[in-house]
Amino acid sequence: MSLKIFHTADLHIGMKFNSYPDSIRDCLIEARFDVLNKMVQMANDQQCNLFVIAGDLFNSINILKRDIDRVIKSLDEFNGECVLIMPGNHDYDNGMIDLWSRFKKNITGKILYINEEKPLLLKQYGLDVIAYPAPCHSKHSDVNNIGWIKDNEKFDPELYHIGIAHGALEGISPDMENNYYFMSKKELEDIPVDVWLLGHTHVSYPENDIVNGWKIFNPGTPEPDGLDCSHEGHAWVITIDKDKSVKAQKVTTGIYRFYDEQFQINDDEELYKIKANILKDNPDKKVARITLKGRVSREAFNCRQELYNELYGKTAHTFIDDSELGIKVTKEIIDREFTSGSFPHRFLNELADDDEALQIAYELIQEVRQC
């Protein structure tokens, strides 16, 4: 019998999104609960045996009781044999955390909280699986927590061996000061588990959507969490066959998308193309920061607020910075604004073949006129 795993991490339930206005902040907070429900349903549709959260289910150790209970209720909907939850560096467990005391008190028998460095045999759940957890007991650590697994001498070939760890992965996670349980790929590869299920890094690894024969997996956050997170949100569905061959498919999980885009505008058409691009594919689930630079006609510049209002109304939230967007100077503008034969009129006409110089000169003249 093969083993099928739904692998996620870094949901960060309880993230506050304080830098966003109330109208979208509440939606982004709620989306993290919604994506958990979505993933449980995806795992059920895929008929997964295991649902694994490899750390940072919660954003901190200070979580409202009602939110803990909502999470447990969602996990109870998993139809497979077992749910494994391990603390990460944001929701670490040092043995004195009320979050996990309440969590453990209220979970059902199908949900297992794994916070100890010891093999966990899942025979009682009908699975020929041993899990090897490497939980976090503090927010920071200059050493990873997989050392005890290296020393394990018994890897029964008749069982599936699943390593679960939370920390920075070499070449994938930025950890310049070695504060986040850094792990090298080599030390993970050298431990004879069948797969590693990691958490911490908010981008997925490996990059391909379908992989075979792979050992190390990191799902990334399942729900995008800010303007520096441009992906759709992902998880892994991993199948280990009886002969220990591994195949995995990356699945898209996210509800909201974040866009942080800069556009160089050279004409009116390019300005309106931006609107079309932002408004395609579920704009009501898009959070965008748009920076506009360049020059457009006076007509487009004067009407730009109408375009912005359409974006504001149809997207979840949009912020637009057009401080570097201006009016494109043309001969018609020069003739309309300056007396024929005057120095500004003659000077600007002499620069008509050099768009950049003309633009700079026009703006300088306008500044002088306003003084």
Longest dimension (CA), the chain: 94
pLDDT at 174: 80
Across the chain, which has 371 residues, the per-10-residue mean pLDDT values are: 97 96 95 98 98 98 97 98 98 96 93 97 97 97 93 86 97 84 96 97 96 98 96 98 97 97 93 91 96 93 95 96 90 84 86 79 80 65
d(CA 10, CA 355): 49
pLDDT for res 362: 80
Give the three-state DSSP class for 67: helix
Q: Answer whether the bond into residue 174 is a cis peptide, omega within 30°.
A: no
Q: Is 97 helix (H, G, I), strand (E, B) or coil?
A: coil
Name the amino acid, one letter, at 134: A
φ and ψ at 311, to 5 degrees? -65, -45
| Sign of the four-CA dihedral 16, 18, 19, 21 | positive
Q: What's the CA gap between 99 and 224, in Å, rounded? A: 24
pLDDT at 358: 80
The confidence score (pLDDT) of residue 248 equals 98
Residue in 152, 165, 163, 227 with CA at minimum distance from that of residue 200: 165
* CA dist., res. 326 & res. 322, Å (int): 8
Please give the pLDDT value at position 371.
Answer: 65
pLDDT for 28: 98
Alpha-carbon span 333 to 328, nearest angstrom: 9
337 vs 347: CA distance, rounded Å: 13
Considering Cα of 67, then 70, then 76, then 79, what sign does the dihedral take?
negative
**Residues in a beta bridge with 134:** 165
- CA distances for 79 relative to 46, 113, 169, 226, 253, angstroms: 10, 17, 31, 32, 19
DSSP state of 279: T
Q: What are the beta bridge partners of residue 58?
A: 13
Residue with tokens 């870094």, as numbered in its chain: 10
Determine the residue type at 247. Answer: K
> Cβ neighbours of residue 358 under 8 Å, at least 6 residues apart?
329, 348, 351, 352
pLDDT in tens, 236-254: 999 999 999 999 999 999 9
pLDDT of residue 1: 83
Q: State residue 312's pLDDT score.
A: 96
Q: What is the pLDDT of residues 63-89, one digit of tens each?
A: 999 999 999 999 999 999 999 999 999
- Give the predicted TM-score (pTM) of the model: 0.91
Specify the DSSP class assigned to residue 280. Answer: S
CA-wise closest residue to 32 among 310, 239, 253: 253
